[in-house]
Amino acid sequence: MIQAGSFGQRVGQSLHMRDVPPSVITRSLRGVELAATETLNEDPVPGLCGSLADDAYLISLKLHDYPECELWEDGKFFTKADIRTGTTYLYDLRRDPRYIIDKPFHSIHFNLPQSVLDDLAKQAGAPRIGDLACQFGFGFDDAVMRHIGAALLEALRRPGEPNQLFVDHMMIAFAAHVARAYGGLPGISEVTRGGLAPWQVKRACERLASDLGGTLSLQQIAAELGLSVSHFSRAFRISTGLPPHRWLLQQRIAAAKQLLKVRDLPLAEIAIAAGFANQGHFTRVFSGMVGVSPGVWRREAWGKGDSEA
Protein backbone atom coordinates (compact mmCIF):
# COMPACT_ATOMS: atom_id res chain seq x y z
CA MET A 1 0.00 0.00 0.00
CA ILE A 2 2.44 2.68 1.22
CA GLN A 3 6.01 2.00 0.28
CA ALA A 4 9.37 3.56 -0.49
CA GLY A 5 9.39 3.34 -4.27
CA SER A 6 11.92 4.24 -6.91
CA PHE A 7 11.07 7.95 -6.69
CA GLY A 8 11.84 8.09 -2.97
CA GLN A 9 15.08 6.20 -3.52
CA ARG A 10 16.18 8.54 -6.30
CA VAL A 11 15.34 11.66 -4.29
CA GLY A 12 17.12 10.31 -1.20
CA GLN A 13 20.23 9.52 -3.23
CA SER A 14 20.24 12.93 -4.91
CA LEU A 15 20.09 14.64 -1.50
CA HIS A 16 22.82 12.38 -0.06
CA MET A 17 20.42 11.01 2.57
CA ARG A 18 21.50 7.97 4.53
CA ASP A 19 18.06 6.36 4.57
CA VAL A 20 15.37 6.10 1.90
CA PRO A 21 12.75 8.77 2.70
CA PRO A 22 9.13 7.61 3.20
CA SER A 23 6.96 7.70 0.08
CA VAL A 24 3.36 7.27 -1.00
CA ILE A 25 2.63 5.88 -4.45
CA THR A 26 -0.32 5.55 -6.78
CA ARG A 27 -0.43 3.91 -10.18
CA SER A 28 -4.05 4.82 -10.86
CA LEU A 29 -3.33 6.93 -13.93
CA ARG A 30 -2.88 4.22 -16.57
CA GLY A 31 -0.20 2.46 -14.54
CA VAL A 32 2.18 5.45 -14.42
CA GLU A 33 3.79 5.88 -11.03
CA LEU A 34 2.80 9.08 -9.27
CA ALA A 35 4.58 9.52 -5.96
CA ALA A 36 5.34 11.89 -3.10
CA THR A 37 8.19 11.67 -0.62
CA GLU A 38 9.08 13.59 2.54
CA THR A 39 12.70 14.69 2.88
CA LEU A 40 13.88 15.82 6.31
CA ASN A 41 17.52 16.15 7.29
CA GLU A 42 18.81 18.22 10.20
CA ASP A 43 22.45 17.27 9.57
CA PRO A 44 22.86 16.97 5.78
CA VAL A 45 25.94 16.02 3.82
CA PRO A 46 27.08 19.30 2.19
CA GLY A 47 27.66 19.68 -1.53
CA LEU A 48 25.83 19.92 -4.84
CA CYS A 49 22.80 17.61 -4.89
CA GLY A 50 22.64 14.82 -7.45
CA SER A 51 20.71 14.81 -10.72
CA LEU A 52 17.05 13.82 -11.07
CA ALA A 53 16.93 14.54 -14.80
CA ASP A 54 13.83 13.00 -16.39
CA ASP A 55 10.88 13.73 -18.68
CA ALA A 56 8.92 14.90 -15.66
CA TYR A 57 8.38 17.72 -13.21
CA LEU A 58 9.29 17.89 -9.55
CA ILE A 59 6.76 19.79 -7.45
CA SER A 60 8.19 20.74 -4.06
CA LEU A 61 6.26 22.00 -1.03
CA LYS A 62 8.72 23.60 1.37
CA LEU A 63 8.28 22.88 5.08
CA HIS A 64 11.40 24.70 6.28
CA ASP A 65 13.01 28.05 5.43
CA TYR A 66 16.13 27.72 3.29
CA PRO A 67 17.74 31.17 2.91
CA GLU A 68 20.21 31.93 0.14
CA CYS A 69 19.65 28.67 -1.68
CA GLU A 70 22.19 28.39 -4.49
CA LEU A 71 20.42 27.03 -7.57
CA TRP A 72 22.00 25.34 -10.59
CA GLU A 73 20.46 24.46 -13.95
CA ASP A 74 21.94 22.45 -16.84
CA GLY A 75 25.23 22.18 -14.97
CA LYS A 76 25.64 25.93 -14.40
CA PHE A 77 25.04 28.32 -11.52
CA PHE A 78 21.69 30.03 -12.01
CA THR A 79 20.81 32.23 -9.03
CA LYS A 80 20.34 32.41 -5.26
CA ALA A 81 16.87 32.48 -3.71
CA ASP A 82 15.39 32.72 -0.22
CA ILE A 83 13.02 29.75 0.10
CA ARG A 84 10.18 30.24 2.56
CA THR A 85 8.12 27.72 4.50
CA GLY A 86 4.77 26.96 2.86
CA THR A 87 5.74 27.90 -0.68
CA THR A 88 5.49 25.59 -3.69
CA TYR A 89 8.23 25.31 -6.30
CA LEU A 90 8.01 23.70 -9.74
CA TYR A 91 11.11 22.22 -11.33
CA ASP A 92 11.40 21.03 -14.93
CA LEU A 93 13.58 17.94 -14.56
CA ARG A 94 14.50 18.07 -18.26
CA ARG A 95 16.67 21.07 -17.33
CA ASP A 96 18.48 19.15 -14.57
CA PRO A 97 17.77 21.57 -11.68
CA ARG A 98 20.01 21.22 -8.63
CA TYR A 99 20.96 23.15 -5.51
CA ILE A 100 23.80 23.40 -3.03
CA ILE A 101 23.13 21.51 0.20
CA ASP A 102 24.61 23.55 3.04
CA LYS A 103 21.90 23.70 5.71
CA PRO A 104 19.02 21.58 7.14
CA PHE A 105 16.08 20.97 4.80
CA HIS A 106 12.50 19.69 5.00
CA SER A 107 10.14 19.34 2.03
CA ILE A 108 7.55 17.15 0.38
CA HIS A 109 8.51 16.36 -3.20
CA PHE A 110 6.00 15.15 -5.80
CA ASN A 111 6.92 13.64 -9.13
CA LEU A 112 4.70 14.46 -12.10
CA PRO A 113 5.68 12.62 -15.32
CA GLN A 114 4.84 14.32 -18.61
CA SER A 115 2.85 11.19 -19.53
CA VAL A 116 0.43 11.92 -16.65
CA LEU A 117 -0.15 15.45 -17.95
CA ASP A 118 -0.74 14.02 -21.43
CA ASP A 119 -3.29 11.56 -20.03
CA LEU A 120 -5.15 14.24 -18.05
CA ALA A 121 -5.41 16.41 -21.15
CA LYS A 122 -6.67 13.48 -23.20
CA GLN A 123 -9.35 12.64 -20.61
CA ALA A 124 -10.49 16.27 -20.60
CA GLY A 125 -10.59 16.42 -24.40
CA ALA A 126 -8.10 19.28 -24.23
CA PRO A 127 -4.92 20.05 -26.21
CA ARG A 128 -1.68 18.52 -24.93
CA ILE A 129 -0.18 20.43 -22.02
CA GLY A 130 3.16 21.93 -23.00
CA ASP A 131 5.54 23.31 -20.42
CA LEU A 132 4.22 24.04 -16.95
CA ALA A 133 4.62 27.57 -15.64
CA CYS A 134 7.95 26.84 -13.99
CA GLN A 135 9.91 29.88 -12.83
CA PHE A 136 13.18 28.53 -11.51
CA GLY A 137 13.90 30.05 -8.11
CA PHE A 138 10.39 31.47 -7.72
CA GLY A 139 7.93 30.01 -5.23
CA PHE A 140 4.14 30.06 -5.44
CA ASP A 141 1.76 30.76 -2.54
CA ASP A 142 -0.45 27.74 -3.26
CA ALA A 143 -3.06 26.99 -0.58
CA VAL A 144 -4.24 23.82 -2.38
CA MET A 145 -0.74 22.33 -2.35
CA ARG A 146 -0.42 23.15 1.35
CA HIS A 147 -3.69 21.30 2.01
CA ILE A 148 -2.63 18.27 -0.02
CA GLY A 149 0.77 18.25 1.65
CA ALA A 150 -0.72 18.42 5.14
CA ALA A 151 -3.05 15.52 4.35
CA LEU A 152 -0.26 13.37 2.95
CA LEU A 153 2.09 14.04 5.86
CA GLU A 154 -0.09 11.79 8.00
CA ALA A 155 0.18 9.05 5.39
CA LEU A 156 3.95 9.48 5.17
CA ARG A 157 4.47 9.39 8.93
CA ARG A 158 2.02 6.55 9.68
CA PRO A 159 2.58 4.26 6.69
CA GLY A 160 0.39 1.41 7.95
CA GLU A 161 -2.75 3.48 8.46
CA PRO A 162 -3.96 5.25 5.28
CA ASN A 163 -5.74 3.07 2.74
CA GLN A 164 -4.81 3.00 -0.93
CA LEU A 165 -8.04 4.75 -1.92
CA PHE A 166 -7.04 7.79 0.13
CA VAL A 167 -3.55 7.89 -1.39
CA ASP A 168 -5.00 7.52 -4.91
CA HIS A 169 -7.50 10.30 -4.25
CA MET A 170 -4.93 12.79 -2.93
CA MET A 171 -2.33 12.08 -5.61
CA ILE A 172 -4.86 12.39 -8.44
CA ALA A 173 -6.11 15.64 -6.87
CA PHE A 174 -2.49 16.87 -6.82
CA ALA A 175 -1.92 16.04 -10.50
CA ALA A 176 -5.21 17.62 -11.60
CA HIS A 177 -4.54 20.78 -9.58
CA VAL A 178 -1.05 21.28 -11.02
CA ALA A 179 -2.30 20.61 -14.55
CA ARG A 180 -5.02 23.26 -14.16
CA ALA A 181 -3.13 25.86 -12.12
CA TYR A 182 0.20 25.73 -13.95
CA GLY A 183 -0.55 23.95 -17.24
CA GLY A 184 -3.75 25.65 -18.34
CA LEU A 185 -5.87 22.48 -18.34
CA PRO A 186 -9.52 23.58 -18.62
CA GLY A 187 -12.07 22.69 -15.96
CA ILE A 188 -14.41 19.73 -16.12
CA SER A 189 -16.88 20.05 -19.00
CA GLU A 190 -20.61 19.80 -18.49
CA VAL A 191 -20.58 16.45 -20.30
CA THR A 192 -18.62 14.82 -17.47
CA ARG A 193 -20.59 16.25 -14.56
CA GLY A 194 -23.12 13.43 -14.25
CA GLY A 195 -23.01 10.71 -11.62
CA LEU A 196 -22.84 6.94 -11.96
CA ALA A 197 -25.66 4.80 -13.25
CA PRO A 198 -27.57 2.99 -10.44
CA TRP A 199 -25.95 -0.36 -11.27
CA GLN A 200 -22.52 1.28 -11.17
CA VAL A 201 -23.20 2.81 -7.76
CA LYS A 202 -24.35 -0.58 -6.46
CA ARG A 203 -21.33 -2.39 -7.87
CA ALA A 204 -18.82 0.20 -6.65
CA CYS A 205 -20.27 0.23 -3.14
CA GLU A 206 -20.30 -3.56 -3.00
CA ARG A 207 -16.65 -3.71 -4.03
CA LEU A 208 -15.64 -1.06 -1.52
CA ALA A 209 -17.62 -2.66 1.33
CA SER A 210 -16.07 -6.06 0.60
CA ASP A 211 -12.62 -4.67 1.33
CA LEU A 212 -12.76 -2.61 4.52
CA GLY A 213 -8.97 -2.65 4.70
CA GLY A 214 -8.84 -0.49 1.58
CA THR A 215 -6.36 -2.59 -0.41
CA LEU A 216 -8.30 -2.07 -3.65
CA SER A 217 -7.13 0.84 -5.76
CA LEU A 218 -9.30 3.35 -7.58
CA GLN A 219 -7.88 1.98 -10.81
CA GLN A 220 -9.20 -1.52 -10.10
CA ILE A 221 -12.73 -0.37 -9.27
CA ALA A 222 -12.91 2.12 -12.15
CA ALA A 223 -11.70 -0.54 -14.60
CA GLU A 224 -14.53 -2.89 -13.56
CA LEU A 225 -17.01 -0.13 -14.47
CA GLY A 226 -15.28 0.72 -17.74
CA LEU A 227 -14.37 4.24 -16.55
CA SER A 228 -11.22 6.30 -16.16
CA VAL A 229 -10.08 6.87 -12.57
CA SER A 230 -10.76 10.61 -12.64
CA HIS A 231 -14.26 10.11 -14.15
CA PHE A 232 -15.12 7.42 -11.61
CA SER A 233 -13.93 9.53 -8.66
CA ARG A 234 -15.99 12.54 -9.74
CA ALA A 235 -19.08 10.52 -10.60
CA PHE A 236 -18.96 8.49 -7.37
CA ARG A 237 -18.83 11.68 -5.33
CA ILE A 238 -21.77 13.14 -7.26
CA SER A 239 -23.81 9.97 -6.73
CA THR A 240 -23.02 9.36 -3.04
CA GLY A 241 -21.99 12.78 -1.77
CA LEU A 242 -18.58 11.43 -0.72
CA PRO A 243 -15.28 10.52 -2.38
CA PRO A 244 -14.63 6.75 -2.35
CA HIS A 245 -12.11 6.78 0.50
CA ARG A 246 -14.44 8.80 2.73
CA TRP A 247 -17.39 6.54 1.92
CA LEU A 248 -15.27 3.53 2.88
CA LEU A 249 -14.29 5.20 6.15
CA GLN A 250 -17.94 5.58 7.06
CA GLN A 251 -18.48 1.88 6.40
CA ARG A 252 -15.58 1.07 8.71
CA ILE A 253 -17.09 3.17 11.47
CA ALA A 254 -20.50 1.53 10.98
CA ALA A 255 -18.93 -1.95 11.16
CA ALA A 256 -16.99 -0.96 14.26
CA LYS A 257 -20.15 0.25 16.02
CA GLN A 258 -21.82 -3.09 15.42
CA LEU A 259 -18.80 -4.92 16.83
CA LEU A 260 -18.60 -2.57 19.84
CA LYS A 261 -22.02 -3.85 20.92
CA VAL A 262 -20.43 -7.23 21.61
CA ARG A 263 -19.41 -6.88 25.28
CA ASP A 264 -16.37 -9.13 25.45
CA LEU A 265 -14.76 -8.35 22.09
CA PRO A 266 -11.40 -6.53 22.61
CA LEU A 267 -10.90 -3.17 20.93
CA ALA A 268 -7.76 -4.44 19.20
CA GLU A 269 -9.74 -7.20 17.49
CA ILE A 270 -12.52 -4.78 16.53
CA ALA A 271 -9.95 -2.46 14.98
CA ILE A 272 -8.56 -5.16 12.68
CA ALA A 273 -12.00 -6.58 11.82
CA ALA A 274 -13.24 -3.12 10.79
CA GLY A 275 -10.27 -2.52 8.52
CA PHE A 276 -8.06 -0.31 10.68
CA ALA A 277 -4.30 -0.80 10.95
CA ASN A 278 -4.28 -1.15 14.74
CA GLN A 279 -6.11 -0.04 17.88
CA GLY A 280 -4.41 3.36 17.95
CA HIS A 281 -5.43 4.07 14.37
CA PHE A 282 -8.99 2.94 15.14
CA THR A 283 -9.21 5.17 18.21
CA ARG A 284 -7.93 8.27 16.38
CA VAL A 285 -10.26 7.90 13.41
CA PHE A 286 -13.32 6.88 15.46
CA SER A 287 -12.84 9.74 17.93
CA GLY A 288 -12.40 12.25 15.12
CA MET A 289 -15.52 11.15 13.25
CA VAL A 290 -17.87 10.22 16.10
CA GLY A 291 -16.73 12.75 18.71
CA VAL A 292 -15.97 10.24 21.47
CA SER A 293 -13.54 7.35 21.82
CA PRO A 294 -14.62 3.78 21.02
CA GLY A 295 -14.52 2.92 24.73
CA VAL A 296 -16.80 5.81 25.68
CA TRP A 297 -19.19 5.03 22.81
CA ARG A 298 -19.34 1.38 23.88
CA ARG A 299 -20.13 2.27 27.50
CA GLU A 300 -22.86 4.65 26.38
CA ALA A 301 -24.31 2.04 24.02
CA TRP A 302 -24.31 -0.60 26.77
CA GLY A 303 -25.93 1.84 29.18
CA LYS A 304 -28.77 2.52 26.75
CA GLY A 305 -29.23 -1.19 26.19
CA ASP A 306 -29.41 -1.88 29.94
CA SER A 307 -31.91 0.92 30.53
CA GLU A 308 -34.13 -0.31 27.70
CA ALA A 309 -34.08 -3.83 29.18
Residue 35 and residue 163 in one domain: yes
Q: What are phi and psi of 164, to 5 degrees?
A: -65, -30
- Domain C-terminal end among 148, 166, 183: 183
**Model confidence band, residue 29 (pLDDT cutoffs 50, 70, 90):** low
What CA–CA distance (Å, rounded) separates 220 from 204? 10
If one counts the domains in the chain, the total is: 3
Please give the pLDDT value at position 120: 85
Please give the pLDDT value at position 224: 85
Integer CA distances (angstroms), 185 to 125, 131, 133, 238, in order: 10, 12, 12, 22
- Average pLDDT taken over every residue of the chain: 87
Better-scored residue on pLDDT, 29 or 292: 292
Please give the pLDDT value at position 6: 84
Please give the pLDDT value at position 95: 94
Domain with 304, as residue range(s), is: 252-308
What CA–CA distance (Å, rounded) separates 176 from 164? 18
Please give the pLDDT value at position 309: 35
Residue 104 and residue 173 in one domain: yes
**Model confidence band, residue 28 (pLDDT cutoffs 50, 70, 90):** low
pLDDT in tens, 270-289: 999 988 888 998 999 999 99
Residue 35 and residue 170 in one domain: yes
The pLDDT of residue 308 is above 50: no
Helix (H) or strand (E) holding 121: helix 114-124
Task: State the average pLDDT over residues 153-178.
Answer: 86
Please give the pLDDT value at position 188: 52
1 belongs to a structural domain: no
Residue 133 and residue 205 in one domain: no
Classify 213 as helix, strand or coil: coil
- Give pTM, 2 decimals: 0.77
* Strand-pair partners of 98: 72
DSSP 291: S
Q: What are phi and psi of 230, to 5 degrees?
A: -65, -40
Q: Which residues contact 18 (CB under 8 A, 6 or more apart)?
A: none
Please give the pLDDT value at position 164: 83
Residue 205 and residue 289 in one domain: no
Please give the pLDDT value at position 205: 92
- Domain C-terminal end among 183, 204, 231: 183
Please give the pLDDT value at position 26: 85
Residue 63 and residue 134 in one domain: yes
